Homo-oligomer: A and B are copies of this chain.
Amino acid sequence: MTELKNDRFLRALMRQPVDRTPVWMMRQAGRYLPEYRATRAKAGDFLSLCKNTPLACEVTLQPLERYPLDAAILFSDILTIPDALGLGLYFETGEGPKFKRTVRSAADVDALPGIKADVDLDYVMNAVSTIRRELNGRVPLIGFSGSPWTLATYMVEGGSSKDFREAKKLMYTQPEVMHRLLDHLADSVTDYLNSQIRAGAQAVQIFDTWGGTLSSWAYEAFSLAYMRKIVKGLIREHDGRHVPVILFTKNGGQWLEAMAETGADGLGLDWTTDIGKARARVGDRVTLQGNMDPAMLYAPPERIRAEVADILARFGEGTGHIFNLGHGITPDVDPAHAGAFIEAVVELSPAYHKQ
């Protein structure tokens, strides 16, 4: 493999010294970029874009052409696994993801096939290996998956939800059925991420978008336990390099200590948690990734810069921080504002990495 020219992101995940704080943005290949919208128009719908290897590669690389980002992230969706399990993923304009079939009973769970990601999600692996080749060692490539709990909520609800009542009904009334579903998903996610690693992903992130809707004990039992299982099953060394894993539970700020005990290398932080207090809680056991409110990108560049300065100061000196937004960048952000954000990290962070 080509030598990696910029390994700041990977070094920060191992708490090794860096010259400045690495930065990338969740959903950095996305609708806020006119060049993304142009490529998307060629592909058709969102899922067709994910499945079109050259175009998925193209949009993955677009933000790197504009900004000095320290990582690329596979362009794909968190719901590829349920789709491969036969639930029929589709997107309705303005309504988010939907499934043609739901999973709400023991029989539904038992009927789910096993999947072999290399075969059943070969389009993802093709995208990973193509992007990795096209990156040519410029920055590392991050692979990803939804967490078992997050995938399960969509599979049970049949799409997005405001209060997750069907998923919670199943969890509270037939916990053993929910556990069987989550266990199946944990095995699938492990296989899926390992395939991505073999195909070329140099780090992986697990998106637990809806773990924060659980009570603390239920988060431990129904979300964190399965992420822990995944972390233990992941390939952690590949091609002579450590392959770091990042857990991101949105609204999970209350549970960082438990998340840090899973063996993950990094934790994603949304913007509701003070990153300085988070660092004090988890020490140097894990790297923290975050955590500017994505809505700050609506503010003028000088306000964005002040916020970057504030977050850098809160985290303080030394390695162990990857700058990011606290959630994905939104479609109506001005690309120049995203640029101001990244530029501020590049310019202001070296002061925190002097020794």
Q: Which of A102-110, A294-302, A316-324 contacts B (4 or more CB under 8 A)?
A: A294-302
Write the chain B residue with the least CB distance to A96: B162
Of listed A163, A173, A254, residue having the most chain B CB within 10 A:
A254
Map CB proximity to B onto A311-337 as digits: 1 under 8 Å, 0 otherwise.
000000000000000100010100000
Chain A residues 273-304 with CB under 8 Å of chain B are 273-274, 277, 291, 293-296, 298-300, 303
Is A32 in contact with chain B by the CB < 8 A criterion? no
Write the chain B residue with the least CB distance to A292: B215
Q: Are B164 and A217 in contact (CB under 8 A)?
A: no
Is A251 in contact with chain B by the CB < 8 A criterion? yes
Number of copies: 2
Given contacts A164-B295, A272-B215, A295-B164, contact A173 B251 (CB under 8 A): no
Secondary structure of the A contact surface, majority rule: helix
Is A100 in contact with chain B by the CB < 8 A criterion? no
Measured as residues with beta carbon below 8 angstroms from the partner, the interface class of chain A is 35 or more
Q: Are B298 and A216 in contact (CB under 8 A)?
A: no
8 Å CB contact of A296 from B172, B219, B296, B303: B172
8 Å CB contact of A172 from B165, B215, B273, B298: B298
A-B contact pairs, 28 of them (CB 8 A): A163-B295, A163-B330, A164-B295, A165-B295, A165-B298, A165-B332, A168-B296, A169-B295, A169-B299, A172-B295, A172-B296, A172-B303, A173-B299, A173-B300, A173-B303, A212-B251, A214-B272, A215-B271, A215-B272, A215-B291, A215-B293, A216-B273, A216-B277, A217-B274, A217-B310, A218-B293, A251-B251, A254-B273
The 7 A-B pairs at the shortest CB distance, nearest first, are namely A168-B295, A172-B299, A216-B274, A215-B271, A169-B298, A173-B299, A215-B293
